[in-house]
Every structure is written in C-alpha cells, then in structure tokens.
Amino acid sequence: MGAEKEIIDTYVTAGQVKIIYWPITDIGPRSVDAAAAAHCVGEQNADLFWAYHDLLFENYGETYRGDRDYFIDQAAAVGADREVFAACFDEGESHAFVRELDQERRDMGILQRPTFDINGQFVYGAPPFETFDAVIQEALQ
Amino acid sequence: MQKLFIFSLLIMLAACSADATAPTPTAVPPEGQPAAATPLVVDEPPATVAATDDNGQPVIMDGRNEDGTFYRGAVDAPVTVIDYSDFL
C-alpha cells in the first residue's frame, strides 16, 4: 500500500481514519504463512502486529522467499517473544484463521488484490494518495 | 459643640476616602504552604484532535477487532479503510 504512509500522516494521526488489515492469500502457502505469522505476532501485541506488517511489506522480496526461520527472525526483530511466536506459528490456528478470513472476503466478492473498502466505496489496485484523499474527503463530508 | 460636629464630620469623610482607595487585601497562605496557583485559562481542544504523547507527537492507536482483524487508528474514527491485500 504505497499511499499508506500519507494516509496515516494525514488522517490516521488526526483521528479521522482507521485502517483494518484483511489478508488476501492468493499466492499460495507462503501468503498464508506470512499472514499467519503477522497474526501470531499480533497475538502478543497489536502494536507489534503493525510493526511486523510494515516490516514484511518493506522486505516483500525476502518475505516472498521466507521460510519458518525467516518469519521467526522477523518476529524477534520487532520485539515479539521468539518462543511464543514459534509455538503459535507451528500450532496452526493462525493459519486456519487466515484461511477463514480469506474465504470470507471471497464470499463478499472481494476478488482483486489489493482492494480498499473506504466506508463502502471501493478502490482497486495501488493508486496514488490523491485518489484515496478524494474518497476519504467525500466520506468525511 | 459645633467644633465637635465639624471634627466628627472630617473624621467620617476621611474614613470614606480611605475605604475608596484602600487596596484589596491579598490572601497570604499559612506559613509552610504554597500559595494557591493562579487558575490557567486553557482553550478546549477540538474533538477531532488525536491523542499526543509527552512530546506532542500524535499517538496512533493499534488494536484488534472482535472478528480478529487488526486496526490502526482511533477506534471511533469516522472513516474506516479496510485494506484487503497480500504480504507477498
């Protein structure tokens, strides 16, 4: 989400916008692993979820090739407990939860990656901040 | 008798004049106690201003929804952006 930082700086810090992350796992088992890993980190602390979210996106090339050890190392890098994370990741409940969310968005007809639902107004792909800005401004009226 | 009346009148006039110009007494706190602070007049912040930390920097609230998804921002923000995306 290239415009995310501007949305955060402009609207989230002002208390006008809340961002919810909903995983899409179209690229196979690694997609599920990445989203499940983020949820395992979030189980420890919601702040850590977003730190991990940002870290995985910033290093998407490595994340694409990431294995269990990579996800554990990244979790430790944002301050999560390594052992607790590994137990969560291996246990599989987060993987199942992520698959449920993925199926739910398919059932809602969200089929394009990425998709942004802004108070019911949909934005597709990765448009510039100005596109989000216009939709958010309309939603704030 | 007339002198006494004039003298009394002068005393009364002097007393009235002194009352009119007397300064308002300032309360002095008991010894060992700090003086009461002057109340500050602070403008009420607008309702849309986000929380800030001790350094005045905006604080982004992170949390988890009942459905298990995670959010970033004020829980009662008027606009919600649901980001459906893949980490890869």
A56 has a pLDDT exceeding 50: yes
In which band, very low, low, confident or very high, does the pLDDT at A1 lie, cut at 50, 70 and 90? low
* Distance between CA atoms of residues A102 and A106, nearest Å: 6
Average pLDDT of span A63-72: 95
Subunit contact A11:B83, Cβ cutoff 8 A: no
- Find the angle CA(A97)-CA(A103)-CA(A106) to the nearest 5 degrees: 145
pLDDT digits 0-9 by tens, B26-40: 333 344 444 444 334
- In chain A, residues with a C-beta closer than 8 Å to the C-beta of B65 are 20
- Write the DSSP assignment of A101-122 as a string of letters: HHHHHHHTT--SSSEEEETTEE
What is the pLDDT of chain B when averaged over all its residues?
63
- Name residues 26-65 of chain A within 8 A of B (Cβ): 26-27, 30-31, 34-35, 38-39, 42, 46-47, 49-50, 53, 56-57, 60, 63-64
Average pLDDT of span A110-114: 95
Residue recorded with tokens 């980001």: B83
8 A C-beta contact, residue A8 and residue A132: no
pTM of the predicted model, to two decimals? 0.75
What is the pLDDT of chain A when averaged over all its residues?
95
A42 → closest Cβ in B64, B74, B85: B64
How do beta strands B79-85 and A17-23 pair? parallel
Subunit contact A16:B86, Cβ cutoff 8 A: no
- In chain A, residues with a C-beta closer than 8 Å to the C-beta of B53 are none
Beta-strand runs (E) in chain B: 62-64, 70-72, 79-85
In which band, very low, low, confident or very high, does the pLDDT at B41 lie, cut at 50, 70 and 90? very low
Cα A136 vs. chain centroid, distance in angstroms? 20
Average pLDDT of span A35-56: 96
Average pLDDT of span B8-15: 48
**Structure-model confidence comparison of residues A90 and B11, the more confident one:** A90
